[in-house]
Amino acid sequence: MTQLVTRNLDISVAIPTYNGATRLPKFLDALFNQVDIEQLNWEIIIVDNNSSDNTSEVISNYQKIFSAKCSLKYFMEPQQGAAYARLRAVREARGDLIAFLDDDNLPAPDWLSSAYNFGLEYPKAGVWSGQIHGAFEVKPPENFAKIHAFLAIREDGEQPHLFEPDKLRLPPGAALVVRKKAWSDNVPQKPKLSGKLPGILVQGDDYEPLLHIHYAGWEIWYNPTMHTYHQIPHWRLEKDYLLKLARGCGLCVFQLRLINAKNWEKPIIFIRTVLGNLRRILKHFIKHNNHLNDDIILLFEMEFYLGSLLSPFYSFRCFLRNINQKT
């Protein structure tokens, strides 16, 4: 009796979403209009992370539109947090490659083909990301380029190059392609950093799996031919949001540096994190004290340094909280 073998797809496009009903139509239209993909076997996976709007209805309507082009699947992930949504997407994906896109990150028409072709050209790459341009609802503040990477904007030139994971120089989780094998073989099913939750902006959830993949020996690349456009509403440039973002980006630093660290290295990482950021804070204060109150970029940098300084203590508090929950 002949056994039917199911062939893997070439690529799965995975979209974690939360209350994305108003963003998804424009995003899905951009996916529908991808070019040079006639030979690709691909699918779209949307993971709904407990939306309270009509996200499921919007997706249902688009499933009919996509039926002749590719499979559009919908899954509900009840565990809150972007990290859990990504893990669910990987479990459900049938592609050898998984292309992660956020619902506010619009891909250029050739994004998918550029993503796939780069994987063929760089077989040692376990992860690759491209250029992410800001599409701003309002004009960003002066000198915004100094901090635009914190809002998942990457414009690093026209030449491919390796990222530097050991220095925490990594691409964001949006507009990112991974080999499913690299992820499945190395990324734990229980993340230490779950991602943004209501009222909590602690970051690092997109870096955590990449560090596991890097330490397993895979390369992480920048592919300049992949272009996406990050839709940034006005409220993400307001002072309150930016300062919470800066603090959240800092609070994950120590935990990220512990990934793959040996026990004897952890006290050294603790000391370097505390003393290094204390030095940065003092230097920043001495240099910019007269302008901190009226320059949001300088204030953002100071808040990030403070969060990084506090990150070992935040990590220890989370550790104690987990112990208390288990007992």
Q: What angle do CA 219, 225, 230 make, to 5 degrees?
A: 95
pTM summary value: 0.91
pLDDT the model gives residue 316: 83
Q: Is residue 272 part of a domain?
A: yes
Q: Select from 105, 120, 118, 131 the least CA-distant residue to 226.
A: 131
Q: What are the E-state strand segments in the chain?
A: 9-17, 42-48, 71-76, 95-100, 105-107, 125-136, 161-162, 176-179, 219-232
Mean pLDDT of the chain: 92
pLDDT of residue 154: 95
> How far from chain centre, in Å, is Cα 293?
30
Q: Which of 204, 236, 268 is the last residue of a domain?
A: 236
Is 95 contained in some domain? yes
- Taking the C-alpha atoms of residue 183 and residue 97, their distance in angstroms, rounded to an integer, is 10
Q: Say if residue 29 is in the same domain as residue 94.
A: yes
Domain-terminating residue out of 236, 265, 291: 236
Residue that terminates a domain, selected from 213, 236, 259: 236
Q: What domain range is 256 assigned to?
A: 242-326
Helix axes 266-288, 296-326, angle to 10 degrees: 150
Give mean pLDDT, residues 126-143: 96
Please state whether beta strands 125-136 and 42-48 pair in parallel, antiparallel, or not at all (unpaired): unpaired
β partners of residue 132:
154, 228
Q: Which of 107, 101, 93 is nearest to 32 (CA)?
A: 107
The conformational region for residue 169 under phi > 0 = left, psi -120 to 50 = alpha, else beta, is beta
Q: Are residues 24 and 55 in contact, defined by beta-carbon separation less than 8 angstroms? A: yes
Q: Confidence band (pLDDT; 50, 70, 90) for 318?
A: confident
